[in-house]
Structure 1
Amino acid sequence: MTSPSTPHTAPPASPTGIPADASAAPTVPAPRDAVVEQRPARRRRDPFFDNAKFMAIVLVVAGHSIVNLRDVRAAHALYMFVYTFHMPVFIVITGYFSRNFTFSGRKAQKLIVNLGVPYVVFETAYSTYHWAVGHSKFEISILDPYYLTWFLMALFLWRLSTPVWQQIRWPVLAAVLISLLSAMTALPGELEMHRTLGLVPFYVLGLVLKPEHFEMLKRPVARVLGGITLVLALAFTYLFADRHMTTEWMYWRDGNADMHVNNLVGSGMRLGLLVGAGILVFAFLTMVPARQTWFTNLGATTLYAYLLHGFATKLMEYMGWYDTPFLHTLPGIAVTALTGAVLATILCTPPVRWLMHWALEPDMSWAFVPLRRPKSV
């Protein structure tokens, strides 16, 4: 779930690979009346990634919609299947578009505005919402993310770590080791450390991927293999994992001790989940259209759907609507999941962005000092 303003293509380079202003030979200044101001061309978004984000957010919202219907085996299996890879998809894509992150210029400020401010706003909003319906005392803990806001906290920390991963020779291997070792330790609940460290391999994987890797996923043979992989994984989940594996493994929020397994078993489970989720991420991406579609533009605002849909799903839970017998049938599950998909679509539309941009894309220029321009030599 990258921020709505994240560009999807790298700026064009000169044939030599050196920025044009550095490689050009000195020239005689043109007359003042001949000087024309050249504005940089706006970088075009790649529809493939916007399509992928929209399809993924539909899975997220549909999955959250049926979370309380898991007493039905089909709903439980579908929930586990989706939860294996739906957030890793976002994390891989986010890592891919974080490759050029540095602390120079305005990038650090954008990190605060695009992630830090929405985190504080929605952490406060969800905590207040939870209190207002009588489910807890009034408490807002900025360091202890509530519900959906964990992803913003984790993404903030992952992006800060980007320059570190880029200095490591085998970053994915290092990230996997950190993920496994973190589960052997009783980490504090603040900052969602188990999730942040447990899922970091997907972010680092995104950092090391290159455009040609995604081009391979667009080939017809890849699409066929990806479709077969997804079908087999769903069948495996229904026939085996649904009965022999708790969904707590999919949340990545507890260590081995809290899962009541020793470190050997816990490491094996987590390594299997990392590999399995990675395979499903690429299988899912083979299903993504590379062309412009009716939902491509909606994929640019998936953060709106992610942060806003929780108010609706929580309302159903608070009001006891999930106790309706019809919802615990196969048609009821289908209707609920479809309703979640429609809700995700609506929350990505321009009217919602117009209403809520103050919270997700706030103008915070007043809060920062002016950017200093380098002195000319």
Structure 2
Amino acid sequence: MERDVYFDNARWLMITLVVFGHLIQPYQNMIVLQTSYTWIYTFHMPVFIFLAGFFAKGMGHKAAIEKLVKKLLLPYLFFQVIYTMFYYAIGKEGWLQSVLIPQWALWFLLSLFCWHMLLIPFKYIRPLTGIPLAVLIGVAAGYVDTIGSEFSLSRTFVFFPFFLIGYWATKDQLAVLRRMPIRFGAGFVLISTAIVLYHFPNLSTGWLLGSKSFAEIGADESGGLIRILIYVISAVMMASVLSLIPAKETPFSKYGQRTLYVYLLHGFAIQYIRAEDIFEVSNTLDILGLLFVTFSIVWVLSQRWILRIWKPLIELKSP
């Protein structure tokens, strides 16, 4: 089957935003970067998870589960060890965490495996019932204090609705999103959201990360309503971004096929930059510099020589 470059473009854009979001996280003293960080987190992981669900069709049988164990759990265990050693080497505080708590961004591998397992019963439930049920589970998880970072349980339950939406989505539905009137609306939504976030910079990103209970975020019984509102905002933002992604070949399309490598490896660069406090950001030129660093990290980690080195460890295949 011929690859659909639309999805490669989407993956490349999302992984670039993942790297940029992680890079600017320490510089929240600048209102522009604080707004950018929150804006990115309203949609970048929902889009990534939606795309993972879209390509999960046909999963659930024994051979597929065995493949997922090799593709997700074994790399998770390997990188859990590698990142722990790396954190110790650069003197990062709190490097020795519980083995049950994923290091860095490794939660995604663990949650991705769990989403596929949850899909086994949910694929037999009609989407009009299954998706609201998944939302209900995500809301309920916020009221349980013991559901948190361990085993990435909180994020697994909170983000599962986006995975399930992706599973039930079709190419025809995505094509509808790319109609010109909807694209104009999508642009308005993205710009309007950025303006609102700029004027209300104190929104806790804990609601967008999905890793903590309502009590840890500082919410009371109203936490469920807030999470439902966040679901709506993220879903609209996700649809808006998917609407604007180009469906034609771009210079970056080929890099969209290698996002797993960027996702797993960019943490070494980001954490080293943070540990050594390499950058001082105080003006627009500095922000442009961070953008350049972001594109450089994504470009380097997308090169074939990186794939040849890491493929045996990430995909358990010879180069």
**TM-score with structure 2 length normalisation?**
0.94
- Distance in 1 of aligned mates of 2:206 and 2:96: 25
| 2:157 counterpart (162, 183, 197) | 197
- Distance in 1 of aligned mates of 2:103 and 2:90: 15
Within 5 A, what are the aligned runs for 1:1-377?
43-104=1-62, 106-136=63-93, 139=96, 141-169=98-126, 170-188=129-147, 189-240=149-200, 242-243=201-202, 245-264=203-222, 266-322=223-279, 324=280, 327-363=281-317
Q: Which runs of 5+ in 1 are unaligned?
A: 1-42, 365-377
Per the TM alignment, residue 137 of structure 1 is displaced from its structure 2 partner at its CA by 7.0
Q: Which runs of 5+ in 2 are unaligned?
A: none
Q: Secondary structure at the match of 2:285?
A: helix
Superposed CA RMSD: 1.6
Q: Secondary structure at the match of 1:321?
A: coil
- Distance in 2 of aligned mates of 1:269 and 1:134: 37
- Distance in 2 of aligned mates of 1:226 and 1:354: 39
Greater Rg by CA: 1
| 1:295-323 deviation digits (Å, cap 9, x = unpaired) | 1121111011111111111001111224x
- Aligned amino acid, residue 234 of structure 2: A
- Distance in 1 of aligned mates of 2:317 and 2:13: 29
**TM-score with structure 1 length normalisation?**
0.80
Answer yes or no: is the 8 Å Cα contact 1:61–1:344 preserved in 2: yes
Answer yes or no: is the 8 Å Cα contact 1:183–1:255 preserved in 2: yes
Answer yes or no: is the 8 Å Cα contact 2:90–2:272 preserved in 1: no
Give identity over the alignment, percent.
28
Per the TM alignment, residue 346 of structure 1 is displaced from its structure 2 partner at its CA by 2.3
Per the TM alignment, residue 135 of structure 1 is displaced from its structure 2 partner at its CA by 2.7
Answer yes or no: is the 8 Å Cα contact 1:124–1:140 preserved in 2: no
- Aligned amino acid, residue 259 of structure 1: I
- Aligned amino acid, residue 49 of structure 2: I
- Distance in 1 of aligned mates of 2:221 and 2:159: 18
Q: Secondary structure at the match of 1:56?
A: helix
User: How many aligned positions are there?
Assistant: 315
- Distance in 1 of aligned mates of 2:253 and 2:66: 27
Answer yes or no: is the 8 Å Cα contact 1:66–1:337 preserved in 2: no
- Aligned amino acid, residue 145 of structure 1: P
- Aligned amino acid, residue 75 of structure 2: P
Answer yes or no: is the 8 Å Cα contact 2:311–2:317 preserved in 1: no
